[in-house]
């Protein structure tokens, strides 16, 4: 029954989201991620590095404005993502703030971009087509001042975390405006990994800035009670999390070095381990530093034809003064756990 209700909620979520369109659609296009379309791939890149025993790389696309600009006000900053159960509809939220932008930048903050996603016959990701744009607004109907980093769903509610904030925004399925906020005590730089648990709670992991232990909160959204745990990461930052059908959780982690580039990790936390005070994870993908990858911040998952898949997305940091040509890169993986 819970799974049926969850499916109904997501159906309403994507149906209503794709009906909204508060602004004229920016000209956004997507291209297959390969040497021809990515100037960062100066030599032949071995994409087999993105495939391991338990995870198979199923292609990637670069999403950008039609004029191939980086740092565009109109599009970018994608950190929080949620895909429909069949993988065909993707809702993404921009974390753009207005730190380096003029006052009229307000309408570009906390933007929702809704895409149709297509795959080829071998289920490699092929294309993202922008269908609608709107904004996340607070309970007063004011556009949220940027910094949206992650999204999770529990029952008929959607929860969004923000940079440097002790609150979660709570939305109903219409996403018209926040219906309330949940306050919780934390002392970290960010919550960028937020997902649901199979028993109806929320799991939040602090981002951190160096390898080591992270604070974890298991949040009961009804009682607004909290249980503290720990998570250990070999990476500098924990960037996202998604819950699989069986209740297991995949954690997205990364490290960045200005010379070496980005290192990427995906780790599995088994559902039965969520009761422990220290969450033990198993790495399923570790990619060493490379300038081919980018600033991955969002992760989501879906099932199709009996197989489970994940999508991860990078934030182009387009609201920064110097984003060094970062891209919106959407990668697709098939799980074999």
- Average pLDDT of the chain to the nearest whole number: 85
Of the listed ranges 134-143, 229-238, 320-329, the least confidently predicted one is 320-329
* DSSP string of 15-28, one letter each residue: HHHHH---SPPP-E
Q: Write phi, then psi, for 38 (nearest 5 degrees).
A: -125, 110
Q: Which of 130, 179, 134, 127 is nearest to 158 (CA)?
A: 179
Pair of tokens at residue 45: 């890149």
Question: What is the distance between the alpha carbons of residues 156 and 248, in angstroms, rounded to a whole number?
Answer: 21
Q: What's the average model confidence in pLDDT over 72-83?
A: 82
- Kindly indicate the confidence band of residue 189, based on its pLDDT and cuts at 50, 70 and 90: low
Q: What's the average model confidence in pLDDT over 66-70?
A: 60
193, β-bridge pairs: 205
Task: Say yes or no to pLDDT of 244 above 60.
Answer: yes
Q: Residue holding tokens 């298991």?
A: 218
Torsion of CA 31, 37, 41, 44, to 10 degrees: 100
286, β-bridge pairs: 265
Residue with the bigger pLDDT between 203 and 223: it is 203
Q: Which of 78, 212, 283, 190 is nearest to 204 (CA)?
A: 190
Task: Say yes or no to pLDDT of 11 above 70.
Answer: no
Task: Say yes or no to pLDDT of 53 above 60.
Answer: yes
Q: What's the average model confidence in pLDDT over 286-302?
A: 93
Of the listed ranges 14-23, 109-118, 168-177, the least confidently predicted one is 14-23
Question: What is the distance between the alpha carbons of residues 136 and 151, in angstroms, rounded to a whole number?
Answer: 12
Q: Which of 255, 252, 237, 246 is nearest to 300 (CA)?
A: 252
Task: Say yes or no to pLDDT of 162 above 60.
Answer: yes
Task: Say yes or no to pLDDT of 42 above 90.
Answer: no
Q: What is the dihedral sign for C-alpha 133, 173, 200, 270? A: negative
| 322 Cα distance to chain centroid | 22
Q: Which of 296, 285, 298, 273 is nearest to 336 (CA)?
A: 285
Neighbours of 295 (CB within 10 A): 21
Yes or no: say if 316 and 76 are a contact pair by the CB < 8 Å rule.
yes
Question: What is the distance between the alpha carbons of residues 150 and 81, in angstroms, rounded to a whole number?
Answer: 7
Task: Say yes or no to pLDDT of 96 above 90.
Answer: no
Task: Say yes or no to pLDDT of 175 above 70.
Answer: yes
Task: Say yes or no to pLDDT of 131 above 70.
Answer: yes
Q: What's the average model confidence in pLDDT over 42-71?
A: 84
Which of the given ranges, 3-7, 29-33, 142-146, 326-330, has the highest pLDDT on average?
29-33
Give the 3-state secondary structure of residue 6: helix
Length of the chain in terms of residues written: 337
Yes or no: say if 181 and 168 are a contact pair by the CB < 8 Å rule.
yes
Domain ranges of the chain: 2-335
pLDDT at 147: 83
> How far, CA to CA in Å, does 136 sit from each of 20, 230, 232, 249?
12, 31, 32, 26
Yes or no: say if 319 and 96 are a contact pair by the CB < 8 Å rule.
yes
Torsion of CA 220, 199, 196, 168, to 10 degrees: -10
CATH 2.40.40 fits 2-335, yes or no: no
The two most distant CA atoms of the chain are separated, in Å, by 54
Residues of the chain above pLDDT 70, percent: 84
The reply to whether the predicted model has a pTM over 0.85 is yes
Give per-residue pLDDT as tens, 15-35.
544 445 556 788 899 999 999
Question: What is the distance between the alpha carbons of residues 126 and 237, in angstroms, rounded to a whole number?
Answer: 29
Q: In what order do the strands lie in the sheet with 111-119?
A: 78-83, 89-94, 111-119, 125-135
Q: Which of 236, 271, 269 is nearest to 253 (CA)?
A: 236
Question: What is the distance between the alpha carbons of residues 206 and 208, in angstroms, rounded to a whole number?
Answer: 6
């Amino acid at each position: 029954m819970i799974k049926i209700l969850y499916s109904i909620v997501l159906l309403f979520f994507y149906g209503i989201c794709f009906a909204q369109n508060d602004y004229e659609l920016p000209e956004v296009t997507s291209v297959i991620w390969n040497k021809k379309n990515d100037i960062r791939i100066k030599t032949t890149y071995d994409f087999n590095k993105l495939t391991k025993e338990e995870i198979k790389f199923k292609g990637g696309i670069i999403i950008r404005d039609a004029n191939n600009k980086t740092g565009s006000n109109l599009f970018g900053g994608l950190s929080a993502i949620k895909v429909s159960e069949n993988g065909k509809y993707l809702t993404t939220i921009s974390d753009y703030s207005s730190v380096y932008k003029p006052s009229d930048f307000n309408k570009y903050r906390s933007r929702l971009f809704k895409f149709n996603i297509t795959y080829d016959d071998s289920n490699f990701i092929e294309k993202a087509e922008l269908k609608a744009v709107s904004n996340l607004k607070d309970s007063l109907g004011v556009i949220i001042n940027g910094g949206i980093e992650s999204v999770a769903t529990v029952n008929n509610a959607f929860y969004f975390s923000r940079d440097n904030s002790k609150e979660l925004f709570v939305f109903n399925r219409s996403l018209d405006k926040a219906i309330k906020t949940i306050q919780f005590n934390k002392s970290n730089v960010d919550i960028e990994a937020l997902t649901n648990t199979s028993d109806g709670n929320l799991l939040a992991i602090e981002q951190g800035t160096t390898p080591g232990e992270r604070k974890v909160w298991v949040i009961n959204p009804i009682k607004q009670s909290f249980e503290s745990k720990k998570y250990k990461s070999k990476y500098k930052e924990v960037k996202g999390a998604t819950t699989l059908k069986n209740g297991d959780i995949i954690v997205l982690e990364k490290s960045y070095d200005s010379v070496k580039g980005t290192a990427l990790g995906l780790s599995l936390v088994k559902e039965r381990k969520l009761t422990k005070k220290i969450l033990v994870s198993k790495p399923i993908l570790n990619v060493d530093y490379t300038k081919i990858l980018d600033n991955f911040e969002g992760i989501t998952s879906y099932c199709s034809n009996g197989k489970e898949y994940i999508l991860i997305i990078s934030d182009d940091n387009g609201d920064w003064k110097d984003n060094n040509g970062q891209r919106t890169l959407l990668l697709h993986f098939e799980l074999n756990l």
